[in-house]
Amino acid sequence: MTVRLDDTTASQVSTAISAERFRQGSSAVGRVLTLVIVADEATQADAVRSAAEAAREHPCRILTAIPRPGRGPARLDAEVTVGGADGLGELAELRLRGPLSHQVASVVLPLLVPDAPVVVWWPGAAPDDVSADPVGRLAQRRITDAAAAPRPLRALDVRRTAYAAGDTDLAWTRITPWRALIASTLDEPFGKVTGARISVMRSSPSGVLLAAWLQRGLGVPVEVHTSRGPGITAVTLSTDEGDISITRPDGRVARMVRPGFPDREAPLRPRSVEGLIAEELRRLDPDEIYGETLDELPALAAWGKYGDRRVPAAATPAAKRRPAAKRATTTKEAPGTAAPTRRKGRS
Amino acid sequence: MRTRIWTPTDNPLRDPRDRRLPRVAGPCSLVIFGVTGDLARKKLMPAVYDLANRGLLPPGFALVGFARRDWADQDFAEIVHDSVRENARTPFREEVWDELCQGIRFVAGDFSQAGAFDQLSEVVLDLDRVRGTRGNHAFYLSIPPKFFGDVVQQLKRSGLSVSGEGAWRRVVIEKPFGHDLQSARDLNATIDEVFPSGTVFRIDHYLGKETVQNLLALRFANTMFEPIWNSNYVDHVQITMAEDIGIAGRAGYYDGIGAARDVIQNHLLQLLALTAMEEPLSFLANHVRVEKEKVLSAVTLPANLDLHTARGQYAAGWQGGAAVPGFLEEEGISSTSVTETFAAVKLGVDTRRWAGVPFYLRTGKRLGRRVTEVAIVFKRAPHLPFSATDTEELGQNSIVIRIQPDEGVTMRFGSKVPGTQMEVRDVNMDFAYGDSFTESSPEAYERLILDVLLGDPPLFPRHEEVELGWKILDPVLERWAEGGRPEQYESGTWGPASSHEMLARDGRVWRRP
């Protein structure tokens, strides 16, 4: 079920996928998107496993591009798997050697599922400006992971300055359960919120994103305190009726304390990568809230301490600055490729 | 504390554009009557755990069981634990269970016993205090309908049916909603007297919200289907719900009810309504309901019911490799029972869109395989520029909406057979909705329970729809009751000969699903 193609071309890979599909008698299955994973040898295996798991919910073609820069000649080696033992859709592992390692888009483009949206995921290192990257430009959605970078907050700052609609980061996806829990506390009547603070492990991009999101939503300054973790350990909203606090010292169960209620607990566990990717693939339109949260980062008191000082903190908000630049890049694109689109933001 | 009703739109952290944030139910409890039943153990309690595991239940959620058992809270917790272990969809996690377990209570008593309901009332008040459920309580009546009256009256008497300001009380009832029009009206009057209509949730567990939404999306989000979705192109529609199992220990419930009341009245007529209705103004609850009610009001029965309905009982036979007994030999069924296990009926829809297009509905137990589907069968092309022999194998085009198992859509159309000869044959094109492995594709009960706790009623049928269903079905049931017996059909086949004859009279055949 796995076909190896050494020293091959994209069109031969494409033929191999079709042939495998035909051979298995499944020539029409719903593939809703193409997921391109750009990774090195060290990260690709785990990433592919998670993506394949997520593909159960979103049937897709998964193309893993593994650039192997080196001195040798340009060469493409591929391994194609269709309908593996565990019923996974279509996987193609592409190793790009020599000068070809810099031309990932040229190999990926002919292998995209016709018409279907394209998502690119960099599980490890990612280019600084993902939407200007040749592979990123093929995609509606570009997924990075600031937490995987050697300096996560620095990486988040790079995402912030280069943000374009369609970008997203797993550091943001990781805090969805936290955001849901905090938001649900305010579904009940509450007093006037006067301030908020969160405690989080050092260098956590998720922590500052959560703080920025709260600050943006609540309109009050949010303090960020460093704790020993794991992850985010406490969030407190100060209101004129008393503090609403959620603490999670063990990384598993959150305890909620608020005036007028008995203390309550809720499970709040770190999420698996496949869960994160499945959430990302659920909606492929731009995540405006994420963009606006990035814009809020410089306004966070703690950001000056963490952020890259070379970037003037008061620069024009990313969401406003990007569109013009983006339009210029999209016009250069080959017909039929997806352009990063931007929907009107509220900012 | 404020008394103003708080709505999620007041929440500064909720932004309608933020599609990642799920709606989490507010503080509340779920009181289940009939926790010893099959449904509670196999579906309800596991679904509650799955919701908790996905973080969709509020912190402090409470689950109260009510049954005639001499149990303490811990005994009930153990029952819930076992049923979760056995039947939950998501992995078992100690911390989720521990938290859920703290909110589990049990009240022992009879459905007519005043003392038990007073005790329940105390338990619920106590939960408001220790778990912060804030007076929000849903009552799930997983019990035979004959007890509804008792329970609802007791809830009223003990003051459980009314909530304080800013809090809610809701009641959930399961099909069957009566056994004919009169009993449905009586049942509704009983419940209506105590619970206002907005707080009554009628659950048809066959028809998950996911399915309904898939069907609505297919019809109304696309341009390629709607133009041919009418009598100009559609020859007829077949709606099938087939089960491969027998009555499997439910003799007490099934005898006297039968396939038509059990499945056609609610499930198949809902599917018919969703298939045939006009486009709703929006997907708001009342807009969808209005359209469904309109189309159900337009449903007509054929003049001669004997020729256009069919009923049967499964006989002993071989089903998928196992020898199975006939219906009349099942334990608890009288050998003279006239309860049908197969029912088929031809209906018309008197609207401009559907004039002259018959809708054939059938359901049965111990049929060929388990399947639920809606098949739209199109007319033949008015002219075929091929010789008759070229198109011998060409059938009618069809779109099949598969509902279970493997939910999806199949299109069937003609295609040339490879080779030098011009020959056209039918081919299938399949689309399957994504598998429900990840947390996002919840089991129907999870969505139902969550909708109840959120107070989100869109797809629950209102009593008007239930009554319209009985209005359609009652004449058929009366005719059948006048005499005759259901025809025997061999288990593992697709129903009695009369059902096939019923379509043959119209020059059509049932699809083999």
Complex-level ipTM: 0.82
Report how far residue B240's alpha carbon sits from residue B404's, in angstroms, rounded to the nearest whole number: 11
Within a domain: A154: no
Provide the CB-side half-sphere exposure for A171 (13 A, CA).
Answer: 32
Q: Which residues of chain B have a CB within 8 Å of the CB of A56?
A: 434-435, 437-438
Torsion angles phi and psi, residue B179, rounded to 5: -125, -5
Instruction: Give the mutation candidate from A168, A188, A257 for the B interface (greatest B CB count, under 10 A).
Output: A188
- Nearest residue of chain B to residue A286 (CA atoms): B17
**What's the domain count of chain A?**
2
Q: Are B153 and B113 in contact (CB under 8 A)?
A: no
Side-chain-facing half-sphere of A233: CA atoms under 13 Å: 13
How many Å lie between the alpha carbon of B180 and the closest alpha carbon of chain A? Answer: 41
Q: Choose among B32, B34, B35, B26: nearest CA to B56.
A: B26
- Considering the domain architecture, whether residues A129 and A187 belong to the same structural domain is answered as no
Collect all residues of chain B within an 8 Å Cβ-Cβ radius of residue A275. Answer: 438-439
Is A159 inside any structural domain?
no
Rounded to whole angstroms, the Cα distance separating A103 from A67 reads 9
How is residue A191 written in tokens?
Answer: 């007093």
- For helices A288-296 and A318-331, give the axis angle rounded to 10 degrees: 130
Query: Distances from the Cα of A276 to the Cαs of A153, B50, B53, B314, in angstroms?
Result: 20, 18, 16, 49
Per DSSP (E only), the strands in B371-473 are 371-378, 398-404, 408-416, 424-432
3-state SS class at B39: helix
Q: Which of A144, A165, A184 is the last residue of a domain?
A: A144
Residues A193 and A322 occupy one common structural domain? yes
- C-alpha A165/C-alpha B155 separation (Å) is 53
Q: Do residues A100 and A188 both lie within one domain? A: no
CA distance A246 to chain B (A): 11
Question: How many CA atoms are closer than 13 Å to the CA of A96, on its beta-carbon side?
Answer: 21
Whose tokens are 């109304």? That residue is B220
Predicted structure pTM score: 0.84
Contacts of B187 (CB under 8 A, 6+ apart): B145, B148, B177, B178
pLDDT digit string (tens) for chain B, length 513 residues: 444 455 656 789 999 899 999 888 889 999 999 998 888 898 899 999 999 988 899 988 999 999 999 999 999 999 999 999 999 988 899 989 999 999 999 999 999 999 999 999 999 999 999 999 989 999 999 988 888 889 999 999 999 999 888 899 999 998 888 899 999 999 999 999 999 888 899 887 677 777 788 889 999 999 999 999 999 999 999 999 999 999 877 888 888 889 999 999 989 999 999 999 999 999 888 899 899 999 999 999 999 999 999 999 999 988 878 889 999 999 889 999 999 999 999 999 999 999 999 999 999 999 988 899 999 999 998 888 888 888 888 889 999 998 877 788 899 999 988 888 888 889 888 887 755 433 445 677 888 899 899 987 656 788 899 999 999 999 999 999 998 999 999 999 999 999 999 999 999 999 998
Q: How far apart are CA B261 and CA B270, in angstroms?
A: 13
The answer to whether the CB atoms of A267 and B52 lie below 8 A apart is yes
Q: By C-alpha distance, which of B153, B44, B132 is closest to B88?
A: B44
CB-nearest partner of A176 from B6, B20, B432 = B20
Contact residues on chain A for B95, CB-CB shorter than 8 A:
252-253, 267, 269
Say how far apart CA B370 and CA B218 lie, in whole Å. Answer: 23
Residues of A in contact with B429 (CB under 8 A): 28
* CA of A191 vs chain B CAs: smallest distance (Å): 10
- pLDDT value at residue A46: 93
Residue A45 lies in a domain: yes
CB contact under 8 Å between A180 and B8, yes or no, is no
Yes or no: say if B466 and B186 are a contact pair by the CB < 8 Å rule.
Answer: no
User: Taking CB atoms and an 8 Å limit, are A28 and B430 in contact across chains?
Assistant: yes
Phi, psi of A345 (to 5 degrees): -90, 170
**Residues of B marked as catalytic:** 267
**DSSP string covering B369-384:** S-EEEEEEEEPPPS--
**For residue B507, with 0-12 CB atoms within 10 Å meaning exposed, 13-18 middle and 19 or more buried, which class applies?**
exposed
Please answer whether residues A36 and A63 qualify as being in contact, where contact means their C-beta atoms are separated by less than 8 angstroms.
Answer: yes
Residue of B nearest to A256 (CA): B59
CB A147 within 8 A of CB A200: no
Whether A211 maps to a domain, the answer reads: yes
A180 within a domain of the structure (yes/no): yes
Min Cα distance B264 → chain A (Å) is: 31
Same domain, yes or no: A76 and A182: no
User: Residue A185 maps to which CATH number?
Assistant: 3.30.360
SS3 B23: coil
Residues A75 and A189 in one domain: no
Give A-chain residues touching B438 at CB under 8 angstroms: 53-54, 56-57, 274-275, 278
Residue B19: its chain A contacts at CB < 8 A?
283
Residue at A149 is within a domain: no
- Domain finish residue from A95, A128, A144: A144
Domain final position from A99, A127, A144: A144
Q: Which residue of A has its CA nearest to B103?
A: A264
CA dist A200 to A27, A121, A296, Å?
49, 26, 18
Q: What angle do CA A171, A175, A178 make, to 5 degrees?
A: 165
| Judgement on whether residues A253 and A106 belong to the same structural domain of the protein | no
pLDDT digits (tens, 9 = 90+) for A257-285: 999 889 998 888 889 999 999 899 988 89
The CATH number given to whatever domain includes residue A36 is 3.40.50
Burial of A128 (0-12, 13-18, 19+ CB in 10 A): exposed
* Nearest chain A Cα distance for residue B17, angstroms: 7
* Helices A205-218/A152-161 angle, 10° precision: 50
Angle between helices B73-87 and B45-53 (to 10 degrees): 80
Interface test with A, best of B95, B130, B402 (most A CBs within 10 A): B95
Strand B359-364, strand B234-242: pairing:
parallel
Give pLDDT, residue A26: 56
Q: What digits encode the pLDDT tens for the residues A67-85?
A: 999 999 999 999 998 876 5
Subunit contact A180:B27, Cβ cutoff 8 A = no
A96 & A242 share domain: no
Q: What is the pLDDT of residue B303?
A: 95
Q: Are residues A137 and A191 in the same domain?
A: no
Q: Rounded CA gap, B67 and A199, in Å?
A: 46
> What residue in B sits closest to A250 (Cα-Cα)?
B95
Among residues B315, B335, B258, B330, the alpha carbon closest in space to that of B493 is found at B315
Same domain as A212, residue A319: yes
Token pair belonging to B17? 């554009």
Helices A205-218/A176-185 angle, 10° precision: 30
Rounded distance between C-alpha atoms, residue A9 and residue B128, angstroms: 67
Q: Which of B21, B132, B436 sits opposite A183 (nearest CB)?
A: B21
What residues of chain A, 113 to 132, have a C-beta less than 8 Å from chain B? none
Return the closest-CA partner of residue A308 out of A130, A162, A161, A194.
A161
- With the C-alpha atoms ordered A16, A20, A22, A28, is the resulting torsion angle positive or negative? negative
Cβ–Cβ below 8 Å for B434 and A56: yes
Q: What is the span of the domain harbouring residue A212?
A: 174-272+286-347
- Give a yes or no: residue A155 inside a domain: no
Which SS3 state, helix, strand or coil, does residue A30 take?
coil
Higher pLDDT, A106 or A315: A106
Q: How many CB pairs under 8 A join A and B?
A: 136
Q: Mean pLDDT across the stretch A186-195?
A: 88
* In contact, B398 and B377? CB cutoff 8 Å: yes
pLDDT computed for residue B5 by the predictor:
53
Quick one: angle between helices B463-481 and B269-276, nearest 10?
120
Nearest CA in chain B to A289: B18
Query: CB of B345 within 8 A of CB of B499?
Result: no
CB contact under 8 Å between A183 and B14, yes or no, is yes
A150 neighbors A135 (Cβ within 8 angstroms): no
- Residue B487's DSSP bridge partners are B312
Q: What is the DSSP letter of B293?
A: H
Q: For residues A183 and A311, state if they share a domain.
A: yes
What is the chain B residue with the closest CA to A271?
B54
Q: Is residue A241 less than 8 Å (CB to CB) from chain B? A: no
Determine the distance in angstroms separating the CA of B407 from the nearest CA of chain A, rounded to an integer: 12
Residue in A30, A186, A278 nearest the CB of B13: A186
Model confidence band, residue A317 (pLDDT cutoffs 50, 70, 90):
very low
Instruction: Please report the pLDDT score of residue B212 as a whole number.
Output: 80
Among residues B30, B28, B33, the alpha carbon closest in space to that of B108 is found at B33
Chain A residues within an 8 Å CB radius of B22: 180
Q: Does residue A118 sit in the same domain as residue A212?
A: no
Residue A88's pLDDT is 61
Rounded Cα–Cα distance for residues A92 and A81 (Å):
6
Chain A residues close to B441, C-beta within 8 Å: 57
Whether residue A135 is found in the same domain as residue A192: no
Establish if A97 belongs to a structural domain.
Answer: yes
Q: Which residues does chain B have within 8 Å of residue A217's beta carbon, measured at their own beta carbons?
A: 12-13, 15
Q: How far apart are CA A27 and CA A24, in angstroms?
A: 8
Tell me how close the Cα of B354 comes to any Cα of chain A, in angstroms: 31
> Do the Cβ atoms of B408 and B428 come closer than 8 Å?
no
